[in-house]
């Protein structure tokens, strides 16, 4: 049986490569909601947005940097690039689980600047 962290990671990997319908079918509840301010809060809207993003960015690179599980919460810090030649974004997804399924998701992103002042970087 997969841990919640493994389920969250698989969900993100599937969605990043364009298999968002499979990701949602396997890992979310029927009452799933999300908090991305650029889309309506239902599963269908964000699932289609993820699918559309993968179609328009077939060279997308999704790299998990770290993942944490604490009770019914999972946080994933990743780097997302739409193509190999761009710096991309640092992204954090937070998942809340109920009965081993994702019921709620938050995502936050910050563009990776070309010139980083902080010597520790973003990753």
pLDDT at 23: 98
pLDDT at 13: 97
In this prediction, residues 49-77 reach a mean pLDDT of 96
To the question of domain 4-111 being in CATH 3.10.330.10, the answer is no
* Residue 94: closest CA among 34, 42, 19: 34
Residues 123 and 65 sit within 8 Å (Cβ to Cβ): yes
% residues pLDDT > 70 (the chain): 100
Residues 28 and 43 sit within 8 Å (Cβ to Cβ): yes
Give residue-wise pLDDT tens across range 69-94.
Answer: 999 999 999 999 999 999 999 999 99
Residues 80 and 91 sit within 8 Å (Cβ to Cβ): yes
In this prediction, residues 96-116 reach a mean pLDDT of 96
User: Beta-carbon neighbour count of residue 55 at 10 Å?
Assistant: 9
Mean pLDDT score of the chain, rounded to an integer?
A: 96
Domain map (residue ranges) of the chain: 4-111
Give residue-wise pLDDT tens across range 1-24.
Answer: 999 999 999 999 999 999 999 999
- Sequence-separated (6 or more) residues with CB below 8 Å from residue 101: 27, 28, 29
* Residue 91: closest CA among 36, 29, 31: 36
């Amino acid at each position: 049986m997969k841990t919640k962290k493994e389920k969250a990671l698989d969900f993100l990997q599937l969605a990043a490569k364009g298999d968002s319908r499979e990701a949602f079918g396997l890992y979310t509840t029927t009452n799933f909601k999300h908090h991305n301010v650029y889309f309506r809060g239902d599963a269908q809207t964000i699932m289609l947005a993820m699918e559309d993003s993968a179609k328009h960015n077939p060279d997308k690179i999704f790299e998990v940097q770290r993942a944490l599980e604490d009770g019914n919460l999972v946080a994933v810090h990743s780097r997302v690039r739409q193509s190999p030649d761009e710096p991309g974004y640092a992204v954090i997804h937070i998942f809340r689980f109920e009965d081993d399924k994702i019921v709620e998701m938050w995502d936050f992103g910050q563009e990776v600047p070309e010139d980083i002042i902080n010597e520790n970087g973003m990753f």
